[in-house]
Amino acid sequence: MSKRILMVFFLSVISIAFISGNAFSAWTQAKGHSYNQLTFSYYDTTAKMTTIEHDNEGAITNINGDVHKENSADFVSKKITYYGEYGITDKLTVFTAIPYDWQKSDDTLQFAGENGPSGVGDINIGLRQNLAGNLFGKGILMSVQGQVKIPEAYDYGNPLTHLSLGNGQYDATLAILFGKAFNPKGYGWANIGYNFRFENDEFDPMTFTPADEIKISLGGGYPITPRLSIRGILAWTKSVGNASVSEELIRENFKYGGLASHGDVVLIKDTIGLEADSLSAGVSLAYNITPKIQTVISYDRTLAALGWGPFETKDAALGETYAIALVALCPCLQDVAGWFGGWFGTH
């Protein structure tokens, strides 16, 4: 299997995380209450922003060029994701995101005769603790959030020859979140975090470590009618540039067309995609079917942002995500138990 397969997947996977905006906001669930969202999303990319320059034959001519757009093999991810929150106390919420992914790449079809992997991908689990409800006397809510990305639900393949459902390594993210409700309508939020990324040693001594990331996002919502609201999100991920690959992985890459003169640059920037910067924006419409059941349709895309300095997308895919979700807001467990008791008592 050609290593070219990897160039699509790892440049695009960073843009696929399309979960509830609740994961970025500062509000916590009341004790015993939960938020449940089931989302179907469709992600597609056929281009990337890269600093690796190629000639018309696809050969690398410059490994440290300016950021520019290049076409890439079509890559599609169809995903069903469960995102849930539960209030342990009024100020402490546990949350999780569990995706099931079906991937398809033109490169895997061409070089391996298969669509790509499918199954449960990286699982995220975290805690959100409310710290203040009226920061600076301005009605600003502040919380701290920690989460872990767990890559144990799928088999990780050789990074030079196989697509996988994730990077096969753990992440740990710590973030400060702010939120504010505006009178008479609407709300806004902001999230500032740091993502610690750990080593993948599945094929030790062929190891790699993605770069840590600064992650900043902001968004908000506004009710158009009592049932319909509009929401928006802007998210920026900046690599801190500390990715690394082992000498053994560099030497193994020679079998698949890697050159000694490239050192670790092409592996980090392109083949495995370990230092990606991205800026994305999204918009969604939420419709309240009942006070506790919503449906949400969303659109998200990666922005090229050329000339925007540190905000421009670099060594990452340009992708679009379309999604539809069903949301259920559940009351305390006592109410649920009472509802079931009442139902069985009358049937």
We report the CATH number of the domain holding residue 17 as 2.40.160.40
Cβ atoms of 109 and 89 within 8 Å: the answer is no
HEC string of 231-294 equals: EEEEEEEEECCCCEECHHHHHHHHHHCCCHHHCCHHHHHHHCCCCCEEEEEEEEEEEEEECCEE
Output DSSP code: residue 117.
-
Using DSSP bridges, classify how beta strands 34-50 and 68-87 pair: parallel, antiparallel or unpaired: antiparallel
At residue 247, what are phi and psi to the nearest 5 degrees?
A: -60, -35
Cβ atoms of 185 and 172 within 8 Å: the answer is no
Q: Which pair of tokens denotes residue 18?
A: 């399309």
* Residue owning tokens 């459902």: 165
In 136-186, DSSP assigns E strands to 140-150, 171-181
C-alpha–C-alpha distance, residues 347 and 338, integer Å: 14
- The tally of domains found in the chain comes to 1
C-alpha–C-alpha distance, residues 341 and 246, integer Å: 60
Please tell me whether residue 15 adopts helix, strand or coil conformation. helix
Cβ atoms of 142 and 132 within 8 Å: the answer is yes
- Residue 84 domain boundaries: 4-345
pTM for this structure? 0.87
Q: List the chain pLDDT tens, one digit each, 347 residues.
A: 444 444 443 433 443 344 555 566 889 999 999 999 999 999 998 899 999 988 887 788 888 888 999 888 788 999 999 999 999 999 999 999 999 999 988 666 555 556 778 999 999 999 999 999 888 888 899 999 999 999 999 999 888 888 889 999 999 999 999 999 998 789 999 999 999 999 999 999 999 999 999 999 999 999 999 999 999 999 999 999 999 999 999 999 998 888 888 889 989 998 888 999 999 999 999 999 998 999 999 999 999 988 888 999 999 999 999 999 999 988 644 444 444 455 555 54
